[in-house]
């Protein structure tokens, strides 16, 4: 008699631990939800493709690769704008706040294990008002739009990188097409476990590029040696610098999907602490060291403050992180649509023509849209800032405060601890609203002041 298919990566002990963790209804507050409702991928016992296969450290590496990209090299200019003291306080403070809001996302996921995306979370929260479908479509559309624009930003960054390496050796549109094709190919795997191996290359890539930049700028010392503890700037300029720091932590939009593919979702806090310790330390060290040697005129990205040869070397080494960080966001966007299409069926677990073909088509369409956005919008960077101000302020900060308030309805005054946390989470919501409002203002002002450009031009804009 033929034996049922068994994934070689399947860990029976971890699977048993996961089921026990999800089965602890009293501790997680799940109530009487059925196993099918708890698991967005359905029963995987005899499935051909298993999704819940990530160890906590693999999930942590994916989160690091998604969050830490070349944006880290914009932080030294933020320090130069804000002053050393204020910038370091903001980098550390916003990092700690992002850790807390990420933890709340984990709490929400454990309370409602079926949640796979922000759309699912919106359905849960708005459902109590009879507006579940509106909540699903509202947050789902916002999540998808945000991810596609991030994908587009990575295609644009790839174009700028190729122009730098080749001294504009060909039309930028050609480089954009190359970036689109490479990203599409690497986004074809359906499970995050396979993508996780790419995340190691991404981390080594950005770490190496960062070290080369810091060493080169320390040797070349393009700055005048002046370090300003504080600076005097106008509100718009200062807040644009703050947004660079805020958006360096803008990975939370994908956390529900990452947790859904962990073997043991209750291990999520370890992955979160791994991410936040890594990115906060790297951000502080990179920002301070490069600013110290680059001076108050340090450019963004910091590669531009080093020699042309050094910039080419660093950009070349950074190719994996430019591609892979975009691929991970693209994977999350594709998986959101894929799960919505096939949830409740066994198509996701099969290696059939329909299953694989659907994944390929969705991936292709999303990357085509991302490429069009990158090529068609002349002031892409300012528009991206506008989009991220609108969404990242809520996905990373404000929404988590709302999640906590939703999870603890009727218990705000139950104890001193609950009252304290209620105040904290109300402040988180207010912070999210302020970041959104101020971000929209400064981004809109920048778009208004920006000179127009040409769509689908051979001359690339700055990334």
Predicted confidence pLDDT, tens digits, the chain (463 residues): 444 334 444 454 544 444 444 444 333 333 333 334 467 887 777 788 899 999 999 999 999 999 998 778 889 999 999 999 999 999 999 999 999 999 999 999 999 999 999 999 999 999 999 999 999 999 999 999 999 999 998 998 899 889 888 888 788 899 999 999 999 999 999 999 988 989 999 999 999 999 999 999 988 888 766 788 888 888 888 888 888 898 889 899 999 999 999 999 999 999 999 999 999 999 999 999 999 998 888 887 777 778 888 888 988 999 999 999 999 999 999 999 999 999 888 888 888 999 999 999 999 999 999 999 988 876 666 777 788 788 999 999 999 999 999 999 999 999 999 999 999 999 999 999 999 999 899 888 877 777 655 667 676 555 5
pLDDT at 211: 92
Closest Cα to residue 378, out of 172, 143, 73, 165?
172
CATH node for 51-378: 1.10.4160.10
At residue 461, the pLDDT reads 55
> Rounded distance, CA 209 to CA 104, Å?
33
Cis peptide before 301 (omega within 30 of 0): yes
pLDDT of amino acid 80: 92
When computed from its CA atoms, the radius of gyration of the chain, rounded to whole angstroms, is 22
Tokens 């080369």 found at: 212
Stated pTM of the model: 0.88
Instruction: Give CA angle at 238 (234, 240), nearest 5°.
Output: 125
What pLDDT score was predicted for residue 40? 83
DSSP 208: H
Q: Both tokens of residue 424? A: 């904290």
Which residue's structure tokens are 């849960």?
A: 124
Residues 323 and 156: their CA atoms lie apart, in Å, by: 11
Phi-psi region of 410 (alpha: psi -120 to 50; beta: other; left: phi over 0): left
Specify the residue for token string 């088509």.
Answer: 361
């Amino acid at each position: 008699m033929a034996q049922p298919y068994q994934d070689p990566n399947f860990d029976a002990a971890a699977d048993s631990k996961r089921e026990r963790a999800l089965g602890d209804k009293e501790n997680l507050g799940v109530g009487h939800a059925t196993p099918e409702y708890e698991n967005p991928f359905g029963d995987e016992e005899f499935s051909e493709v298993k999704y819940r296969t990530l160890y906590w450290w693999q999930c942590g590496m994916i989160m690091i690769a998604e969050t830490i990209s070349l944006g880290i090299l914009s932080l030294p200019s933020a320090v130069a704008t804000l002053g050393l003291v204020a910038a370091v306080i903001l980098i550390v403070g916003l990092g700690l706040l992002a850790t807390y809001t990420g933890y709340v996302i984990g709490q929400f996921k454990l309370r409602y294990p079926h949640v796979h995306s922000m759309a699912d979370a919106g359905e849960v929260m708005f459902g109590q008002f009879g507006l579940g479908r509106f909540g699903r479509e509202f947050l789902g559309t916002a999540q998808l739009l945000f991810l596609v624009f991030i994908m587009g930003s990575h295609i644009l960054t790839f174009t700028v990188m190729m122009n730098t390496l080749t001294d504009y050796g060909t039309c930028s549109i050609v480089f954009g097409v190359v970036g689109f094709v490479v990203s599409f190919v690497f986004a074809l795997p359906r499970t995050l476990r396979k993508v996780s191996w790419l995340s190691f290359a991404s981390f080594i890539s950005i770490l190496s590029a960062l070290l080369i930049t810091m060493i080169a700028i320390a040797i070349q010392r393009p700055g005048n040696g002046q370090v300003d503890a504080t600076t005097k700037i106008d509100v718009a300029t200062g807040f644009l610098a703050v947004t660079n720091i805020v958006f360096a932590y803008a990975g939370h939009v994908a956390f529900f999907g990452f947790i859904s593919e962990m073997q043991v979702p209750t291990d999520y806090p370890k992955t979160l602490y791994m991410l936040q310790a890594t990115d906060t330390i790297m951000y502080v060290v990179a920002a301070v060291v490069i600013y110290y040697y680059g001076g108050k005129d340090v450019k963004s990205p910091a590669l531009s403050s080093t020699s042309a040869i050094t910039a080419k070397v660093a950009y070349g080494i950074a190719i994996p992180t430019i591609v892979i960080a975009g691929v991970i966001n693209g994977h999350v966007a594709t998986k959101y649509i894929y799960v919505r299409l096939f949830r409740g069926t066994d198509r996701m677990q099969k290696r059939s023509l329909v299953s694989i073909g659907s994944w390929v088509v969705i991936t292709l369409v999303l990357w085509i849209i991302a490429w069009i956005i990158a090529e068609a919008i002349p002031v892409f960077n300012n528009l991206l800032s506008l989009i991220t101000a609108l969404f990242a302020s809520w996905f990373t900060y404000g929404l988590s405060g709302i999640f906590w308030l939703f999870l603890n309805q009727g218990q705000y005054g139950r104890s001193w601890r609950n009252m304290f946390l209620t105040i904290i989470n109300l402040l988180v919501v207010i912070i999210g609203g302020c970041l959104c409002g101020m971000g929209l203002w400064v981004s809109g002002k920048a778009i208004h002041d920006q000179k127009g450009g040409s769509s689908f031009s051979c001359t690339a804009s700055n990334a």
